[in-house]
Amino acid sequence: MKADVGDWIVVEGAVLGVPTRRGQVVEVRHPDGTPPYVVHWLDTGTTTLVFPGPDAHVVTAAEEARRIAAAS
The pLDDT value given to residue 40: 98
Q: What is the pLDDT of residues 22-66, one digit of tens each?
A: 999 999 999 999 999 999 999 999 999 999 999 999 999 999 888
The pLDDT value given to residue 26: 98
CA 69 from chain centre, in angstroms, equals 18
This prediction has a pTM of 0.87
The pLDDT value given to residue 41: 97
Cβ contacts of 5 within 8 Å, gap of 6 or more: 25, 26, 27, 28
Determine contact, residues 2/45, Cβ cutoff 8 Å: no
The class of domain 8-71 in CATH terms is mainly beta
So where are the chain's domains?
8-71
| pLDDT mean over 1-17 | 90
